[in-house]
Amino acid sequence: MKTGRWLQNYPHFLERVYQLTEWLFKRLDPAIRRIGYGRIDRWIHVPEAWAKRAVFGCKMCGQCILHSTGMTCPMNCPKNLRNGPCGGVRPNGHCEVIPEMRCVWVEAYERSLRMPIYGQELLELQPPVNRRLEDSSAWINLLTGMDKRVPAGWAGMSYIPLVPKEMGGWGDE
Amino acid sequence: MINSEYKSDGRLERVLRSGRFAVTAELNPPDSANPEEVYQAALVLSQVCDGINATDGSGANCHMSSVAICALLTRADYAPVLQVSCRDRNRIAIQGDVPGAAAMGACNVLCLTGDDVTVGDQPEAKRVFDFDSIQLIRTIKIMREKSMFLSGRKLTSPPRLFIGAAENPFAPPYDWRPFRLAKKVEAGADFIQTQYCFDVPRFKQFMQRVRDLGLHEKVFILVGVGPLRSEKAAEFMRTKVPGVYIPDEVVERLRKIPAGQKREEGKRICVEIIQQVREIEGVAGVHVMAYRQEELVAELIEEAGLLPRPMQPGVPPDHHHHDRIRKSKQAV
């Protein structure tokens, strides 16, 4: 179901929706915790998958970083790259593997420039994917902190290069 | 300028940190189980460069493994650069290969995302990509600095590796590429080898941004260069090899030359590019790539005025534990 993909052309609107939804879930966290994260996950992850698939082509990796990647799902990249484009992007901006498809990261970068709230998070170093979180609700994982857990070796190291926001064009638009 | 403490025991790092213009070259692993083919190719290259890249399934075609090439090369006192691609192996396999290669004497590692399976001759294969190149760089840095695997489990002896990464300033999104470089440097890259450079003006723009970000003081950048045999070879490369961009002017220049002289012209173009990029502030060396034309690589490096390479006493050999079986090969 791809009827919502056009919404991705409005990344600032989407990042506001994300911000609001995150606020809402955090407010509801005490109640969700009382009912049980697992129970809510079972109820939520189906409509969550349906909605996110319609707008973003979501693959339910369970550790959503949409707001840090220009509201463009990196799991749509055939190589599942989480930190930016590979060197094989075609001169017309299309994917090395799927020539008809525009490179996910070309789109992510362009959209990030129109996202004054989260745009510059494109610079963050994303840790390796935890495959065990596949098909679980990313929102519940956000509340439990599961989506932020990194391997022990990864912890405690710098997670973003120091780049002035204005240099990348991620200032306030 | 750059922290002078050495991270590896290798030649390449010492040449770069001493401020000299470095040269690395690629050895294309043979489709063979015969080590002699490796030594024949390496013999020509070893005299003309500071590091020999052992490619890892480049173009998604299998060849003799890069870890094996490194093991063979270190036995002969050559300086290999282990290339690791994320396409074929998961995090468990990679974290096994890296200390293994270091134990074999490799002092340099190049971290690559990897060409997709569909560009090779076995497109039915499963693509892995458990890591991307930035996670790979960071993982090797963790092994080297914290002496532990990604899981936190300790290594009794960390791999002392000079960590490299690739960058392609010639693929979109162009404005993002300097920031991607910033991410790789932050992840732990010590040196960079770029994709083929045939468009020097675009490369200059890229380097301007790189300098604005201060990256040229944090990482050594080697520019990828190579000779084109003819305009047909150029057309093949820019359509079939992912990420290679060759401007029309270069292709036209080759088309105008009569058949017998194309090879010379291609070499001349390459030498010109080397001379031009050498002048750019922030460029620390060149990385010469020529598919199965190792003799041509040697000629090129000589014509570009980059010989002799500093291999005299003062620049120590790569690994003091290697077997010196092929000592006699040195006297050439």
Please check whether residue A150 touches B, CB under 8 A: no
Structure tokens of B178? 């300097």
pLDDT at B47: 86
Encode pLDDT of A82-114 as tens digits.
999 999 999 999 999 999 999 999 999 999 999
CA angle B10, B244, B177 (to 5 degrees): 70
Encode pLDDT of B204-229 as tens digits.
999 999 999 999 999 999 999 999 99
Considering chain A, what is the average pLDDT of its residues?
92
pTM score:
0.93
* CB contact (8 A) between residue B150 and residue A153: yes
What 8-state DSSP symbol labels residue B23?
Answer: E
pLDDT at B328: 39
pLDDT category at B319 given cuts 50, 70, 90 is very low
- What's B156-170 look like in SS3? CCCCCCEEEEEECCC
**Structural domain contains residue B65:** yes
The 3-state DSSP class for residue B246 equals: coil
Spell out which residues of chain A touch residue B148, defining contact as CB-CB under 8 Å: 152-153
The contacts of residue B174 (CB under 8 Å, 6+ apart) are B202, B206
pLDDT at B294: 80
A74 and A88 Cβ atoms separated by less than 8 Å: no
**Is residue A4's pLDDT more than 90?**
no
* CB contact (8 A) between residue B139 and residue A153: yes
Of the ranges A76-80, B227-231, B297-301, B306-310, which one carries the lowest mean pLDDT score? B306-310
Of B130, B168, B185, the CB nearest to A87: B168
Encode pLDDT of B258-274 as tens digits.
999 999 999 999 999 99
**Is residue B156's pLDDT more than 60?**
yes
Taking the CA of residue A158 and the nearest CA in chain B, the distance in Å comes to 7
Count structural domains, chain A: 1
What 8-state DSSP symbol labels residue A147?
Answer: G
**Is residue A171's pLDDT more than 80?**
no
B199 and B245 Cβ atoms separated by less than 8 Å: yes
* CB contact (8 A) between residue B135 and residue A123: no
Structure tokens of B125? 């294969």
Of the ranges A28-42, B110-124, B230-244, B289-303, which one carries the lowest mean pLDDT score? B289-303
The 3-state DSSP class for residue A9 equals: helix
* CB contact (8 A) between residue B186 and residue A82: no
Spell out which residues of chain A touch residue B134, defining contact as CB-CB under 8 Å: 83-84, 125-126
pLDDT at B46: 87
Where in the sequence is the domain holding A63, given as residue range(s)? 5-168
CA gap B220, B284 in Å, rounded: 6
pLDDT at B93: 97
Give the nearest chain A residue to B242 (CA atoms): A88
B100 and A137 Cβ atoms separated by less than 8 Å: no
Beta strand B22-27 with B51-54 is parallel
* CB contact (8 A) between residue A154 and residue B142: yes
**Structural domain contains residue A173:** no
Region A130-140: mean pLDDT is 94
pLDDT at A163: 87
pLDDT category at B329 given cuts 50, 70, 90 is very low
Encode pLDDT of A141-158 as tens digits.
999 999 999 999 999 999
* CB contact (8 A) between residue A153 and residue B180: no
CA gap B216, B219 in Å, rounded: 6
Count structural domains, chain B: 1
Where in the sequence is the domain holding B19, given as residue range(s)? 11-228+270-330
Region B296-323: mean pLDDT is 71
CATH code: domain of residue B206: 3.20.20.220
**Structural domain contains residue A125:** yes
Buried b / exposed e over B309-332, threshold 16 CB at 10 Å, is bebeeebebbbeebeeebeeeeee
**Structural domain contains residue B241:** no
**Is residue B147's pLDDT more than 80?**
yes
Spell out which residues of chain B touch residue A165, defining contact as CB-CB under 8 Å: none
**Structural domain contains residue B296:** yes
**Is residue B3's pLDDT more than 70?**
no
Spell out which residues of chain B touch residue A128, defining contact as CB-CB under 8 Å: 91, 130-131, 135, 139, 150
- Residue appearing with tokens 């698939």: A53
Q: Is A168 or B106 the better-scoring residue by pLDDT?
A: B106
**Is residue B83's pLDDT more than 90?**
yes
Secondary-structure percent of chain B, ordered helix, strand, coil, rounded to 5: 45, 15, 40
What 8-state DSSP symbol labels residue B108?
Answer: E
Structure tokens of B46? 């070893």
pLDDT at A172: 56
Report which of B97, B139, B283, B259 is spatially closest to residue B204, judged by C-alpha positions.
B283
User: Residue B68 phi/psi, 5° resolution?
Assistant: -65, -40
Residues of chain A with pLDDT > 70: what percent? 97
* CB contact (8 A) between residue A125 and residue B113: no
| CB-CB neighbours of B43 under 10 Å | 17
**Structural domain contains residue B234:** no
CA gap B23, A32 in Å, rounded: 60
Taking the CA of residue A78 and the nearest CA in chain B, the distance in Å comes to 9
**Structural domain contains residue B239:** no
Encode pLDDT of A37-73 as tens digits.
999 999 998 999 999 999 999 999 999 999 999 999 9
**Structural domain contains residue B215:** yes
B210 and B216 Cβ atoms separated by less than 8 Å: yes
Spell out which residues of chain B touch residue A88, defining contact as CB-CB under 8 Å: 113, 115-116, 168, 171, 242-243
Spell out which residues of chain A touch residue B130, defining contact as CB-CB under 8 Å: 128-129
* CB contact (8 A) between residue A123 and residue B182: yes
* CB contact (8 A) between residue B118 and residue A79: no
**Within chain A, what is the greatest distance between any pair of CA atoms?**
53
* CB contact (8 A) between residue A123 and residue B183: yes
**Is residue B179's pLDDT more than 70?**
yes
pLDDT at B173: 96
Please check whether residue A104 touches B, CB under 8 A: no
**Structural domain contains residue A32:** yes
**Structural domain contains residue A41:** yes
User: Residue B275 phi/psi, 5° resolution?
Assistant: -65, -35
CA gap A24, A9 in Å, rounded: 24
pLDDT at B330: 45
DSSP string, B60-96: G---S-HHHHHHHHHHTT--EEEEEESSS--HHHHHH
* CB contact (8 A) between residue B173 and residue A152: no
pLDDT category at B72 given cuts 50, 70, 90 is very high
Residues of chain A with pLDDT > 90: what percent? 88
Host H or E run for residue B45: helix B35-46
- For residue B330, give Cα distances in angstroms to B284, B288, B317: 27, 22, 12
Structure tokens of A19? 């911000």
Give the nearest chain B residue to A158 (CA atoms): B186
Region B294-322: mean pLDDT is 72
Angle in degrees, 0-180, between the axes of helices B133-145 and B177-187, rounded to the nearest 10:
20
Spell out which residues of chain B touch residue A82, defining contact as CB-CB under 8 Å: 132, 135
**Structural domain contains residue B252:** no
CA gap B51, B41 in Å, rounded: 14
Spell out which residues of chain B touch residue A169, defining contact as CB-CB under 8 Å: 175
Of the ranges A116-120, B185-189, B326-330, which one carries the lowest mean pLDDT score? B326-330
Structure tokens of B23? 């040269």
**Is residue B326's pLDDT more than 90?**
no
**Structural domain contains residue B214:** yes
Taking the CA of residue B159 and the nearest CA in chain A, the distance in Å comes to 15
CA gap B212, B218 in Å, rounded: 12
Spell out which residues of chain A touch residue B129, defining contact as CB-CB under 8 Å: 79-81
Torsion angle in degrees (nearest 10) through CA of B225, B230, B233, B238: 60
Structure tokens of B190? 């010590």
Please check whether residue A83 touches B, CB under 8 A: yes
* CB contact (8 A) between residue A83 and residue B148: no
